[in-house]
Structure 1
Amino acid sequence: MIPSSEEPILTARLVVLLSGTGTLLQALLDATREPAYGATVVAVGADRHSAGGLARAERAGIPTFTLRVRDFPSREEWDAALTERVQAYEPDLVISAGFLKLVGKQFLAVFGGRYVNSHNSLLPAFPGMHGPRDALAYGVRVAGATLFVVDEGVDAGPIIAQVAVPVEDDDTEESLTERIKGAERRQLVDTIGAMVRLGFTVQGRKVTIP
């Protein structure tokens, strides 16, 4: 059984990890402005200095940090440094919101069951970095987004929530990606809010929110 939060958290502390522009982060920041949401973003981390989401966090007055894999002698040392930096903020949940680096064993040993990721496909279909492109190439009629608990695999952990997005005949990778992003943001906000307000359990591959 993966450790989980069986009881609701009064005001959950969220650390968000990202690599890109931070649209998922922005959705969380907008939601957490309401005290009734039940959570606050206490830090934002990235694996590159160019990540636009860092500027979003800084404008909101949220501490940021950047840890690039290339700045460490090994991937294991980067993972240890990331674990230490995130742990310093004492998060209840860590959220990968477009974070393009796989964490390692040390990170999962500390945050297993509390590290969640949003992916732009209906897993287990189309894992990896190009979900919408792969979905179009395969010819599916329904795509979507998945929120899941991260484990040692690649986009393979227990599924928390999924949302479907129809694929239109004239869709391009860009148009489908943008529609998925809209659904993905809503799902992330709604599901994280429910997790922190109601609690959740993870047993095998089943995630339950009361």
Structure 2
Amino acid sequence: MSCKVVVLISGSGSNLQALLDTTAQADAPFSVCAVISNKAEAYGLNRATQAGIPGIVVDHRSFPNRGAFDQALIKEIDQHKPSLVVLAGFMRILTPEFVRHYGGRLINIHPSLLPKYQGLNTHQRALEAGDKTHGVTVHFVTEELDGGPSIVQAIVPIKEGDTPALLAKRVQRQEHTIYPMAVSWFAQQRLQMADDRVLLDGELLPHCGVQISA
């Protein structure tokens, strides 16, 4: 039976599309059973509709605080009984209660080589620091923002004359490769988190996870 995945989004959903493209393959090890957004105008909801998948809005502005929103989100997610919850551009800081509820089956993608550049404006910060390389990380989510253990990183060289926009485009291409890869590993029961470390095929990964050079 295919692994059921719920995807959380806030915007255009390009990583969602990469996941949906993977599920269209005959041998896909996972399926997206629902897409949930905290914003009704998120274009990713259109992608879900086009794929015949429920697109659901849980508007954070309808709740008095972060905790109440997260409880409503948990209730909605759990109706779909997913094996994995995937954050794909979901622009909300999650409460510890939410993270613990999905411990070991909640993953995120972040546009930097974590632990460098947690938070926002990662491409600009990498350029300002004079870095030679940049990239993207898929990681398990823990209570520390962008601090969970890394599963896989794609390393992208920084080129002379790069702008944040140019660098972002090259990084995003790698996002669309490594996110379906990581979700597939989980769906195939090859991937797990144990004591804040990552195991792949029973082997403990280094703190950076699997590294791929773009």
1:150 Cα deviation from its structure 2 partner: 0.5
1:199 Cα deviation from its structure 2 partner: 2.9
Letter in 1 for 2:118: P
Tell me what 1:57 maps to: 48
Question: Is the aligned partner of 1:104 residue 2:95?
Answer: yes
Q: Percent identity?
A: 34
Q: 2:169 aligns with which of 140, 165, 178?
A: 178
Tell me what 2:212 maps to: none
Structure 1 stretch displaced more, 46-55 or 101-110: 101-110
Tell me what 2:197 maps to: 206
Tell me what 1:6 maps to: none
Q: How many residues align?
A: 201
TM (normalized to structure 1)? 0.92
Q: Gaps spanning 5+ residues in structure 1: where?
A: 1-9
Letter in 2 for 1:35: A
Offset from partner CA, 1:41-89 (integer Å, 9 cap, x none): 0000111111110110011110011122211011110010001101111
1:136 Cα deviation from its structure 2 partner: 1.1
Q: Gaps spanning 5+ residues in structure 2: where?
A: 202-214
Distance 1:84 1:199 in 2: 28
Q: Secondary structure at the match of 1:147?
A: strand
Query: 1:188-203 to 2 correspondence within 5 Å?
Result: 188-203=179-194
Distance 1:51 1:157 in 2: 26
Larger RCO: Structure 1 or Structure 2 (Cα < 8 Å, ≥ 6 residues apart)? 1
The structure 1 segments of at least 4 consecutive aligned residues displaced by more than 6 Å after TM superposition are: none
Query: 1:153-164 to 2 correspondence within 5 Å?
Result: 153-164=144-155
Distance 1:193 1:113 in 2: 15
Q: Secondary structure at the match of 1:36?
A: coil
Q: 2:157 aligns with which of 159, 166, 173?
A: 166
CA contact (8 A) 1:158 1:204 kept: no
TM (normalized to structure 2)? 0.91
